[in-house]
Amino acid sequence: TPIGRDGKLAKPRQLHNTHWGLVCPAETPEGQACGLVKNLSLMCYVSVGSPAEPLIEFMINRGMEVVEEYEPTRYPHATKVFVNGSWVGVHPDPKGLVNSVLDTRR
């Protein structure tokens, strides 16, 4: 249910823990809408979703081992690789992998 601007409830006007880094805690209108209208924080980064498969294939071609085939004894110090929040594999040289992805993106 939507919250009316005339209500005096404090809870909907407060910043929730999950909003930190996304919603600005200071920028809000004065008056009845105070705390109900929220704006993005200054350093918030909004990205558009993209398919993960081309990126995963690109990283496999550059030495990433997919998580299903990963053997911890072979690469004990390998770095986990996440794409869109999912663990997709490991790589022994994370800096090199990041540099190759960034160079290709530019």
pLDDT at position 93 is 93
Q: What is the dihedral of CA 48, 53, 55, 56, to 10 degrees?
A: 140
pTM above 0.85?
Answer: no
Q: Answer yes or no: is pLDDT of 100 > 80.
A: yes
Measured CA to CA, the distance from residue 30 to residue 93 in angstroms comes to 51
Say yes or no: 41 and 66 in one domain: no
Pairing status of strand 79-83 against strand 65-66: unpaired
Say yes or no: 68 and 93 in one domain: yes
Say yes or no: 99 and 57 in one domain: yes
Say yes or no: 72 and 98 in one domain: yes
Measured CA to CA, the distance from residue 30 to residue 14 in angstroms comes to 14
The range of the structural domain enclosing residue 23 comes to 1-46
Q: What is the C-alpha end-to-end distance of the chain, expressed in Å? A: 45
Say yes or no: 91 and 61 in one domain: yes
Say yes or no: 26 and 62 in one domain: no
Structural domain count of the chain: 2
Measured CA to CA, the distance from residue 104 to residue 66 in angstroms comes to 21
Say yes or no: 70 and 101 in one domain: yes
